[in-house]
Amino acid sequence: MSDDLTHADARALERSERRHSIEERIGRRYGRKYVRFVVAALGGIPWVGSLLSAAASLEGEAEQGDVNELQRLWIEEHQAKLEQLAMTLAGMMERFEGLGSDIDSRVQSDEYLALIRSGFRTWDQADTDEKREFVRKLLTNAGAYRLCSDDLVRLFLAWIDQYHEAHFAVIREIYQRPRSSRAEIWASIHGAHVREDSAEADLFKLLIRDLSMGSVLRQERATDAGGNFLRTQAPKTPRGHASPYMKSAFDNTERYVLTELGGQFVHYVMDELVPRVAATPDGEG
């Protein structure tokens, strides 16, 4: 019995130390300056309040030796995620501090706090660390620099939620190597040759179609001086020489580039911090 109490006391002490560490990282370092920012982030994650209440209840039950194992496991799993959340928020606040007081009005604005609530809902629902890191970068950049509208930030959050890591691999490849063909994209990401009627080929076509339909990438097209797309003339095929094969999933003729939206997505989400500009078109810095 004494051993059980010892283990329970040790777990209670560990939970107390974790909460103290979280409070230290989130609130005490910067005083009340970012209270609304933190509250908005926590408000976007529904389980935070339940976790704190359950953790307090669990400590009381542990003293009586009446602990529900499933409840304990749920709390421990979410406490680890709460620590990750605390580190994310602390990192964002540290970055804001490094940029000076001229961004304070933006970080405290209702418009930005609405993005924070929405963004941390996406962060909470993300099933990989890569997606959570994308959300962090996007929200940090949206707080520090106004290079695109908040509507686009919301669109980019939807893309993070909607797309899979396989989509992001294609986006990254086209960003690093513009004008790549499907064959070149596949070879760079996967390398190995697969059949046209394979599941891998079907998936690759789906990725390209999703990103094309979502206006993230497009086939390269010529434009005039005003940015208007020019029609392409299909090459004439001599009669009697038509190919018997359908277009390959790994076509090596058509070239792909990111759309302007896709380029901004990479700039805001996959880059750490965008270069600062003097002012946005609407006059805001």
Whole-number pLDDT of residue 277: 37
Lowest mean pLDDT among 24-38, 107-121, 156-170, 258-272: 24-38
What would the pLDDT profile of 172-194 be if each residue is shown by its tens digit? 999 999 999 999 999 999 988 89
More confident call, 97 vs 236: 97
Poorest-pLDDT segment among 69-78, 93-102, 180-189, 253-262: 69-78
Give the per-residue SS3 of the chain. CHHHHHHHHHHHHHHHHHHHHHHHHHHHCCCCCCHHHHHHHHHCCCHHHHHHHHHHHHHHHHHCCCCCHHHHHHHHHHHHHHHHHHHHHHHHHHHHHHCCHHHHHHHHCHHHHHHHHHHHHHHHHCCCHHHHHHHHHHHHHHHHCCCCCHHHHHHHHHHHHHCCHHHHHHHHHHHHCCCEEHHHHHHHHCCCCCCCCCHHHHHHHHHHHHHHHCCCEEECCCECCCCCECCCCCCCCCCCCCCCCCCCCCCCCCEEEECHHHHHHHHHHHCCCCCCCCCCCCCCC
Average pLDDT over residues 198-208: 96
Position 32 confidence tier, pLDDT thresholds 50, 70, 90: confident
- pLDDT value of position 50: 58
Over the chain, what is the mean pLDDT?
A: 79
pLDDT tens, residue by residue, 117-144: 999 999 999 989 999 999 999 999 999 8
| 276, pLDDT greater than 70 | no
In this structure, of 49-63, 163-177, 216-230, the range with the lowest mean pLDDT score is 49-63
- What band does 145 get if pLDDT is binned at 50, 70 and 90? confident
pTM assigned to the model: 0.76
Looking at mean pLDDT, say which of 90-99, 129-138, 234-243 comes out highest: 129-138
Work out the average pLDDT over 156-161: 96
Compute the average pLDDT of residues 241-267: 87
Q: Confidence band (pLDDT; 50, 70, 90) for 72?
A: low
